[in-house]
Amino acid sequence: LGGGKRLSHMMTEVSRLEDVGLARDIVKRRAIPVFLDIGQHHNDRVVSFYFQTPSGWLWEYGWGVAAASGQAEWGEAPIWGHEHMGGA
């Protein structure tokens, strides 16, 4: 995800945590490349995973986004998960 200024990914926020789990199951069944598996960001507390679209974009699918309290939080490691799975 590093290197230069650029758009790194898009995100869909869903209204139920269950939707994140169901989407992850669908992605797995369809053998869609997963970049980061389910986990929780430190900065905004979102529970999400990242998959790769057919055109190569990373798409984050998540639930529970909270506003980050400060710029310093953007570099923090995840609270849990978000294991790098390859792809992109």
Q: What angle do CA 37, 6, 64 make, to 5 degrees?
A: 40
- The tens digit of pLDDT for each residue in 12-59 reads 999 999 999 999 999 999 999 999 999 998 888 899 999 999 998 999
Amino acid at 52: Q
**Which pLDDT value is given to residue 88?**
59
All structural domains of the chain: 9-66 (3.10.180.10)
Structure tokens at 29: 């069944």
Check: pTM over 0.85? Answer yes or no.
Answer: no
CB 87 within 8 Å of CB 33:
yes
pLDDT at 79: 87
CB 30 within 8 A of CB 78: no
